[in-house]
Structure formats: structure tokens, C-alpha cells
């Protein structure tokens, strides 16, 4: 009888200690909770709820190794504890061990195959480990069975981009933009894709939003200037290029777009200055020599025009018969004109 009473007393005591530890957790008194849970484990080292809550409390105190040890011990004792697998997977992912994390999430998927959230976690781990083909089916399940989210569409777009499906990557990025039209990361990704696809009319609005948010980003000013130019918004292209050049005075791309923006507006003086500076930064560029010669020709500066037509002809790769023919004929005409002076 005494042994039975002692056992009952012990059980009651452990229960009281467990409840007190849970109260400590609720109040975020993590150190107190850990002390109580450790006390319980001395008496009952296989009590899964205590092990689990001790792992959570230990993690909160920064004792990651103890948390790992406990989650793994739980899984050895009972592989079906879903929450332990999930927490262990998240912790391993945090520790930059994506392959081990994916293993835990796959086990969690087997325990809860209809949960889109665990499929998303598995996909995230596979993506971190660059196992894109293994991430993709989990993402497709999550998209089909879960709630649409910015994070889902961004990850899905990134995976599709990695596996070479650029069309779907753009489609899912556009869906992300519908959910979060003011998200700078989404707009940045869209802007780069539109720009690289030469869809400049779509790139420009995204870039406009981005430079308003961060006026110091030289890459966005460069792309914006080019996007304006390609959509024949020459004055705006010149303004964007000038902004770029205030931030990056030695940008050949900035002077190139600026020069052509003035060129299209027949502002030969400013175009010639821009192309002249471009050639200082990137000498021996045949196209640069040709357009600079044309600017001087339009300005009536025969000497400078002839110099640059001849430089173009020295560098000419014969990629354009019309340009080569024009340069030769203008050089001949200018030589005759100068001889007559």
C-alpha cells in the first residue's frame, strides 16, 4: 500500500510540476520552464510532452543543440509525432542544413499528406538545397490545395525560373504582384524580367515605382532610361540618363542612352557631347564613332565629322552595308569640301 501511495504521490507531483512548467512557458519564463521540465525528465526520461516542451523552451533560450537532441529523441521514440518533425525541420533549415530539413518535412508530409503548408515547407527546404525538381511537385500541390500567398507565388516563380520554364515563372510572378502590388521585391523581379524580355512598356512602370522608393539605385535608373528610349519617350529617357549620371558619372551606358535620346530629338550639340564622353569611357567603338560623326555632320563641323567617319571606317566590322556606304560617301564628300577651302 505504501508503495502505491508513493507512486501516486510521485505521479501527482510530476503532474503539478508539468502544469507549473506549462504556466511558465505561457508567461515566457523560459528558464523556469526548462528547470521544471528537466526535473520531470529525471523521473520520466521518455515523457514525450515534456521532451517536446523542453525542446521549445530550450530553443527560446538559445540552446539550439539541446532542442535538436530532444526533437531527435522524440522521433526515435515515436516517429509519428508530426509536430516534432516539423519543428526539427524548421530548426535544421534555420541552421542551413536544407537536405536534413527536407528529410524531416518529407516525413511530415507522409504523416499529413493533405496539408498544403507542410508541402510548402518541404519545397522551401528543397529550394534552399537547390533540388528544384523535388521542390516543384510540393509547390504545385500547395498552390492547388492551399490559400494563395505572396510567398508561395514567389517561390513557385523562382523554382520555375531555375528549371527553365520562363513563361510560368513570369505568370506566377505576376500573380504575386496582384496580391502585393506595392511590394518592392516583386516589382524588382518583374522589372528585370520585362527588361530582359525587351518588354520595355511593362518594365517602365515597375521601374518608375522602384526609383521613387530608392532614388540611389543606379541599375534601375539605367534600365528606366533604356525603357523610355525603346518606347520612344526620348525626353524622359534623357532625364533618367542624366539622373543615372549624377549617381554614376562614369557610366558608358548612361552616356549611350543620353546621346541617342538627344540624337532622336535632333539635339546634335548635346548628342555630340554625350557620344564624345561615351567614347572617352569606351574607345574604339565603331558605332559610337559613326553616330558622333553624324552629329558633327549635322552641326556643319566638317573637320570633326571627317575625323570620326574615318575612325569608324578603321573599326568597321562590315555588319551594316548601309552604314559603311554612308560613312565612305560622306567621308569623300567632306574631304572634297575641305580641299576646296
Arithmetic mean of pLDDT, 163-192: 94
208 and 238 in a common domain: yes
- Same domain for 265 and 310, yes or no, is no
Of 235, 257, 275, the residue that ends a domain is: 275
Any domain includes 58 = no
| Lowest-confidence region among 35-39, 194-198, 260-264 | 35-39
CA distance 120 to 137: 10
pLDDT in tens, 256-312: 999 999 999 999 999 999 999 999 999 999 999 999 999 999 999 999 999 999 999
Residue at 231 is within a domain: yes
Report the pLDDT value the prediction gives residue 13, as an integer from 0 to 100. 64
Residues 6+ apart with CB under 8 A from 173: 153, 154, 157, 186, 189, 190, 193
User: Which CATH number characterizes residue 257's domain?
Assistant: 1.25.40.10
Q: Which pLDDT tens digit goes with each residue over 89-129?
A: 999 999 999 999 999 999 999 999 999 999 999 999 999 99
Give the three-state DSSP class for 69: helix
**pLDDT value of position 318:** 86
255 plus 320 within the same structural domain? no
Task: Report whether pLDDT(194) > 60.
Answer: yes
Domain final position from 248, 275, 302: 275
At residue 266, φ and ψ (nearest 5 deg) are 60, 30
Tell me, yes or no, whether 289 and 244 share the same domain: no
Closest by CA position to 187, among listed 168, 211, 166:
211
Lowest mean pLDDT among 35-44, 89-98, 133-142, 210-219: 35-44
Could you tell me how many residues make up the chain?
A: 341
Angle in degrees, CA 267, 272, 275, rounded to 5 = 120
- Sign of the alpha-carbon dihedral angle for 66, 67, 70, 75: negative
pLDDT over 60 at 54, yes or no: yes
Domains in the chain: how many in total?
2
- Tens of pLDDT, residue by residue over 3-33, are 433 433 344 567 878 888 888 889 999 999 8
Q: Are residues 294 and 265 in the same domain?
A: no
Closest C-alpha among 224, 231, 216, 140 to residue 187:
224
In a domain, 91, yes or no: no
Q: How many angstroms from the chain centroid is the CA of residue 240?
A: 24
**208/262 same-domain check:** yes
Is 135 within the bounds of a domain? Answer: no
Mean pLDDT, rounded, for 70-85: 95
Shared domain for 250 and 297, answered yes or no, is no
- Asked if residue 324 and residue 256 are part of one domain, the reply reads no
Q: What is the mean pLDDT of residues 58-87?
A: 94
Average model confidence (pLDDT) across the chain:
92
Whether 9 is in a domain gets the answer no
CA dist 108 and 124 (Å) reads 14
Let me know whether 210 and 271 are in one domain.
Answer: yes
Same-domain pairing of 221 and 288: no
Lowest-pLDDT range, 16-30, 69-83, 223-237?
16-30
Per the domain annotation, does 123 fall within a domain?
A: no
Quick check: is 87 in a domain? no
The answer to whether residue 147 scores a pLDDT higher than 70 is: yes
> Within this chain, do residues 242 and 296 fall inside the same structural domain, yes or no?
no
* Within-domain flag for 41: no
Assign 177 to helix, strand or coil.
helix
d(CA 267, CA 248): 23
pLDDT of residue 40: 87
Of 40-44, 139-143, 219-223, 279-283, least confident by mean pLDDT is 40-44
Is the confidence at residue 331, as pLDDT, over 70? Answer: yes
Name the helix (H) or strand (E) containing 297: helix 286-298
Whether residue 288 sits in one domain with residue 270: no
Domain boundaries, position 339: 284-341
Domain boundary among 275, 310, 330: 275
Amino acid at each position: 500500500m505504501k508503495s502505491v501511495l508513493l507512486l501516486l504521490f510521485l505521479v501527482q507531483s510530476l503532474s503539478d510540476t508539468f502544469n507549473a512548467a506549462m504556466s511558465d512557458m505561457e508567461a515566457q519564463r523560459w528558464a523556469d520552464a526548462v528547470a521544471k521540465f528537466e526535473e520531470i525528465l529525471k523521473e520520466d526520461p521518455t515523457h514525450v510532452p515534456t521532451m517536446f516542451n523542453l525542446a521549445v523552451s530550450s530553443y527560446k533560450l538559445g540552446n539550439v543543440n539541446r532542442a535538436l537532441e530532444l526533437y531527435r529523441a522524440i522521433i526515435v521514440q515515436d516517429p509519428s509525432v508530426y509536430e516534432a518533425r516539423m519543428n526539427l525541420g524548421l530548426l535544421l533549415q534555420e541552421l542551413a542544413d536544407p537536405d536534413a530539413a527536407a528529410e524531416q518535412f518529407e516525413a511530415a508530409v507522409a504523416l499529413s499528406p493533405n496539408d498544403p503548408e507542410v508541402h510548402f515547407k518541404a519545397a522551401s527546404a528543397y529550394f534552399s538545397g537547390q533540388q528544384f525538381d523535388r521542390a516543384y511537385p510540393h509547390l504545385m500541390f500547395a498552390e492547388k490545395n492551399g490559400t494563395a500567398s505572396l510567398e508561395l507565388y514567389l517561390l513557385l516563380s523562382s523554382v520555375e525560373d531555375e528549371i527553365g520554364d520562363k513563361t510560368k515563372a513570369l505568370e506566377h510572378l505576376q500573380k504575386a504582384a496582384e496580391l502585393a502590388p506595392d511590394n518592392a521585391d516583386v516589382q524588382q523581379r518583374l522589372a528585370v524580367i520585362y527588361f530582359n524580355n525587351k518588354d520595355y512598356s511593362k518594365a517602365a512602370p515597375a521601374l518608375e515605382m522602384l526609383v521613387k522608393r530608392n532614388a540611389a539605385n543606379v541599375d534601375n535608373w539605367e534600365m528606366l532610361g533604356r525603357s523610355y528610349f525603346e518606347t520612344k519617350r526620348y525626353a524622359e529617357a534623357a532625364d533618367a540618363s542624366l539622373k543615372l549620371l549624377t549617381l554614376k558619372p562614369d557610366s558608358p551606358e548612361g552616356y549611350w542612352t543620353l546621346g541617342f535620346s538627344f540624337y532622336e530629338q535632333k539635339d546634335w550639340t548635346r548628342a555630340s557631347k554625350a557620344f564624345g564622353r561615351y567614347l572617352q569611357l569606351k574607345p574604339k567603338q565603331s558605332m559610337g564613332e559613326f553616330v558622333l560623326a553624324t552629329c558633327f555632320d549635322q552641326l556643319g563641323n566638317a573637320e570633326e565629322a571627317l575625323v570620326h567617319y574615318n575612325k569608324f571606317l578603321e573599326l568597321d566590322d562590315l555588319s551594316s552595308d548601309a552604314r559603311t556606304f554612308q560613312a565612305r560617301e560622306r567621308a569623300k564628300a567632306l574631304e572634297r569640301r575641305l580641299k576646296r577651302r
